[in-house]
Each structure stands twice: as C-alpha cells, then as structure tokens.
Amino acid sequence: MANMILTPITLWKDFDDSLPLNEEFLPEEEREGAVMRGVYFLGRQTDYGRVKIYGRYYTPLGLESFPAVLILFEAGFPCDEKLVMHFIKKGYAVLGVDYSGELGDGRHTIYPRDIDYANYARAGRAMQYVDNTARETSWYEWTGVARYAARWLKERPEVTAAGAVGLRTGGEILWKIAPYAPIDCFISIGAAGWLAYRDIEKFSENGNVVFSEERHRFIAGIDSQSYAPYVKCPVMMLCAINDKKCNYDRVYDTFQQINPEVEKAILYSAHGNGLIGRHSFVNIDLFLDKFLKKHSVFLSKPVSFSVANENGSFKVRAAYDPMGKVAECGIFYTENTATFKARDWTRKLGDARMMGKDNTFVFPLDVYEGSEKALVYTFVRYSNGFSVTSKIQEINLGEHHKGCMKSRIFYTSEQGTIGFAAFRRRAGSIADCFSDSDHVDLELLPGYGGIPGVTTRTGIITYRVSEPRFEPSEGASFRFDAWSEKDAVLKVVFYSDVEEETGYTETFFVQGGGKWKSFLADAADFKSDRGASLASFRGTVSVVFQGEGDVLINNLLWL
C-alpha cells in the first residue's frame, strides 16, 4: 500500500465515522445573546486510542430549535467570536471545532501519539507532502475530525439543518468532507485546492510543470480540486484578490469541476488586498437563508463574458442571470498577468439602466496600448444584494490595438479610491480573513480647498508602480501631494517583492493645515532596514503610505 495514489473514493471508502460520540459538556458561559458550552466528543479510532475532539458550541438565547453552522477556522488560529456572533445574531447555532490540536495552554483536540503529526504545530512534512499515502497526512486526520463534528452537530435534537463555513485550511477540509458528511451546504473561504501548485503562476510560461509521483499522490488524495466533482450539497466560494495564501487565479478551475447539478456561486473581493470584503457577508447570509432556513432567495447562476476586437478596440460582453434584477455591474482588469499576489485591478462600472436584452452589457476594455496581454473578469450585484463574479480570463491583445497611452501620473483623486487598496493588517481583520470596517476601509476625504485625497488609518497600498502603463522609466523621481489637518509624519515604503518583506523607506513631515504640500524624492532617498539605498523605482512591486491620523494622499507621478 506504500506510495499508492489514493483518490477521494479509495482514500475514504473504509473510514468509520459511526463510532459512539460519548460527548462531555463543560460548564456554560454567557455571551451577548448566546450561551457557549465547551464540548468534547470522540473521533476516529487509531492503534493508540480515539481522537478526543474539542469544540465550542454556541446557541442563541430564546430559541428552542435553530439551524446551525460548523465553522473551521484557519489552522493555528483561535475561534474568533466576532465571526461567531455574526451567525448568532442571524439565529444560527455555531460549533467552532478545533482541529489544530496542541498549540498552547488552552483546551484543544487531543490526538493519539501515533498521529502526533495531526497537531498543526508539529505537522511538518505531513501537511505539505504525501511521502507514503494520503492516509498518513495531517489532512486525513483533520478531515476525520470535521466528519465527526458534522455528525455531532447534525444529530443534535435542537438543530433543524446544518451547514459549514471553512476559512483557508478549514475550507480545504470542507471540500474533503462535502461528498460524505451530513451537511446541507458549505461555504469555502480562501480555499480551492491547487496547493501542489503553490507559487506556480497560472498565467505564465512556467505554468505547466512536470510533477513527481509524490506530487501526484498529493493532488489525487489531498488537493480540493480532486474532490469538487464529488460534492453533493450547494457550495459557495469566496476569495480575495491579491491573497498571498490562496492562488485566486485557479479558484474558478475548481468551481468549474463541481457537478453541474449542484447549486453553486463564486465571488471575488477585489480591493481588500487579500482580505474578504464586508459585502461578502450579504452573500453568506442569503446563501445560508436559502439552504438552512429554507427561505425563498434568488441566487444567481454563474455569469460569463466574451471579449472581441472591434476595429482595434476591445469590448467585453458580459452575460448575467436573466432572472435577476441587476443593481450594479462592471469589470475588473489588469495588465500584470504574472504575479497573482501583487496586481492592480482597475474597475470599470456599467450603468445598470442601460442593461441590454437578457441582462447583457458591453464594456470597453481600455488597456494600455503597449500591453500584449490582460486579465479580465466581470461582476454583478443583484437587487437583493447577492453578488457573483465570472472566471478570470487571459486576453491576448496582440501587438496592434487601440488603448490608453503610457502615463507618468498613476493616481489622482478624480479616480476615487481606484488604484489603492488598504494595506493588509491582520490585527485589524476578523478571523484573519475578513475586512474589519474599523481598520481597513479606504476613504476619500476633503483636504485644503475641498480637494479630496485618499487615506486610511492603517495605511494604503498601490500596485500601479508595477503595471506596464504606469511603471517608471529608469532614473525617474517620485512626486506626490499630501495634506493633514495637524502636523504628521508620513512613512512611504517601496517594496521590491510580492510578499512585501523587502522594503525601502523614507519618512516625510507633513505640516498641518494650509495648502497641500508637494514632495519630491529620488530612489536613493529610500533605505532598507540595513541602510541600503533603493537603486531604482523601476522594478518595484508596490508602494505603501502609512500616516499618523488622516494624512491625505493625491497626485502621484513620476518625473
């Protein structure tokens, strides 16, 4: 059996999830509008005993029966009660189950010693590789925990229906239980498989690789795209643009492999810089309302688009669900086809009042005339608030096409907040996955003379410095305007890598009040942590502005 390639069928055909649960409740703890009880119940049997699963069971006050949601947080992260309370307020019970195992002093799932690699902190190669078979991996044990947790929740007498929400690694686990566990629907967030393709760009010359036998074992038995055809319940996929943990270029590939008879939806969050936008909660609520509360809710069918070259100008023809009333629609596009972790996505909105027959709309694709390729996707929000997006499609523009000219100006406030994203701060997120409105929302505020500028209290980032139409020439200087009501220090960091680890920093003093202040700097003015100067702005990936209070930024350009 060693080194055997196991599939979603052969890997799980002998798994026994019917053993007695033997639950053990801990004392109740009050929460706002809810009661939380810690609970232990038993999982699968190993040679050294059974897995002892720990979870937190939250139930809404004042209700005797209710639908419930199983939440699997990202491995290594605690149960975030901000997210839990969102579901409690909607009338759901929540089971937050631990699969990470021993991490610290808190209560956790206890794994027998023969599967110690199920503890996330000690997973090692058992999480990243299939050295023997997929049964000897952390993923197998985590999936076993989730299957028993789903069964425990479904068998609760007060639970009328059970769905599941998984964040990142938790979402990957849900794909593995969906063909077998008693869940009525699930939502996968920042998780769609393709882990064996980590850091392999889809839209690049190196996108096709030859894998080893070990990689084939991993893909067949662990990667979520292999499970997608076997999913039987409704599924919604949420992901974030520029997410450094999830290759969103490949998410739709998994979506397409789901059985066509299964109800499904997909949504990208475009400007959270790796975080899921708060608007996605509308989708989550409507999706669970439909499949757990059995409400009559319109959920869009998948949307599509085509691109045509009309006399040298490219047009995007989007087709939305004809059964829905369109409230907002548009396209996103970028000319950076290689680096999925650091792209500037330009948004172009359509006027829903000008919608064509059967909910079709035509958008001009105003790309840089010097670009040979672009990536495009379309989105739509319907009148009930439900939003969906299409696949991300690569467009070959060719050498001769009409388009916009190269520009030294890569941002003015006339563009609103387009071109910027909130600089990702995990401390200001919900469950390390969702944007928190108190920390990462972009804002456009008025400065001197009523002229607006863009700011956030935790920093803003733009990737336009690496977009073909905006990238600087060799030897260029950087100029920008800033304004603050009070004296403030503004830190500007140019990053030369997509992980935003290698930065070159310069600080600027912004005198409070009065007119807008203009600043001019050369590349050599920006220093690394070790004092090395930035050789050139050309080749940088992004630039981040972090100011004290509401420092406003405007008119970014190269000289």
Domain span at residue 434?
A: 409-558
**Average pLDDT of the chain?**
92
Predicted confidence (pLDDT) at residue 440 exceeds the cutoff of 60: no
User: What's the CATH number where 363 sits?
Assistant: 2.60.40.10
Instruction: Encode pLDDT of 298-334 as tens digits.
Output: 999 999 999 998 888 899 999 999 999 999 999 999 9
**In this structure, are 185 and 259 located in the same domain?**
yes
pLDDT on residue 451:
96
Burial of residue 402, with CB atoms counted within 10 A of its CB: 0-12 exposed, 13-18 middle, 19 or more buried: middle
Residue 250 maps to a domain: yes
Predicted confidence (pLDDT) at residue 69 exceeds the cutoff of 50: yes
Instruction: Encode pLDDT of 262-305 as tens digits.
Output: 999 999 988 767 888 888 999 999 999 999 999 999 999 999 99
Predicted confidence (pLDDT) at residue 361 exceeds the cutoff of 80: yes
**In this structure, are 373 and 426 located in the same domain?**
no
Residue 204 maps to a domain: no
**In this structure, are 250 and 316 located in the same domain?**
no
pLDDT on residue 508:
96
Residue 297 maps to a domain: no
**In this structure, are 460 and 537 located in the same domain?**
yes
pLDDT on residue 428:
66
Mean pLDDT throughout 250-269?
A: 95
pLDDT on residue 427:
58
Predicted confidence (pLDDT) at residue 469 exceeds the cutoff of 70: yes
Predicted confidence (pLDDT) at residue 418 exceeds the cutoff of 50: yes
pLDDT on residue 179:
96
- Count structural domains, the chain: 3
Predicted confidence (pLDDT) at residue 1 exceeds the cutoff of 60: no
Lowest pLDDT segment from 7-16, 192-201, 395-404, 410-419:
395-404
**In this structure, are 115 and 230 located in the same domain?**
yes
**Bridge-based pairing state of the strands 387-389 and 235-240:** unpaired
Residue 319 maps to a domain: yes
Residue 158 maps to a domain: yes
Mean pLDDT throughout 415-443?
A: 73
pLDDT on residue 270:
82
Residue 525 maps to a domain: yes
**In this structure, are 71 and 169 located in the same domain?**
yes
d(CA 528, CA 534): 7
Q: Are 88 and 65 in contact (CB under 8 A)?
A: no
pLDDT on residue 278:
82
Tokens 């650091």 locate to 342
User: What's the CATH number where 530 sits?
Assistant: 2.60.290.11
- Give the three-class secondary structure for 317: strand
**In this structure, are 263 and 349 located in the same domain?**
no
**In this structure, are 230 and 313 located in the same domain?**
no
Q: Which of 396, 429, 463 is the last residue of a domain?
A: 396
**In this structure, are 285 and 311 located in the same domain?**
no
pLDDT on residue 439:
46
Predicted confidence (pLDDT) at residue 436 exceeds the cutoff of 90: no
Pick the more confident residue, 495 or 104.
495
Cβ neighbour number for residue 347 with a 10 Å cutoff: 16
H-helix or E-strand spanning residue 283: helix 280-291
Residue 205 maps to a domain: no
Tokens read off for 430 = 């919900």
**In this structure, are 451 and 315 located in the same domain?**
no
Predicted confidence (pLDDT) at residue 196 exceeds the cutoff of 70: yes
- Give the three-class secondary structure for 339: coil
**In this structure, are 121 and 162 located in the same domain?**
yes
Residue 222 maps to a domain: yes
d(CA 112, CA 104): 17
Mean pLDDT throughout 429-457?
A: 80
Mean pLDDT throughout 3-29?
A: 95
Between the CA of residue 165 and those of 83, 172, 185, 294, 376, what are the distances in Å? 11, 10, 9, 18, 28
Q: Which of 396, 418, 450 is the last residue of a domain?
A: 396
Mean pLDDT throughout 496-516?
A: 93
Tokens 């979870």 locate to 55
d(CA 95, CA 92): 10
| Spatial CA neighbour of 376 closest among 404, 401, 397, 403 | 397
**In this structure, are 128 and 275 located in the same domain?**
yes
Cβ neighbour number for residue 361 with a 10 Å cutoff: 22
Tokens 């038993």 locate to 42
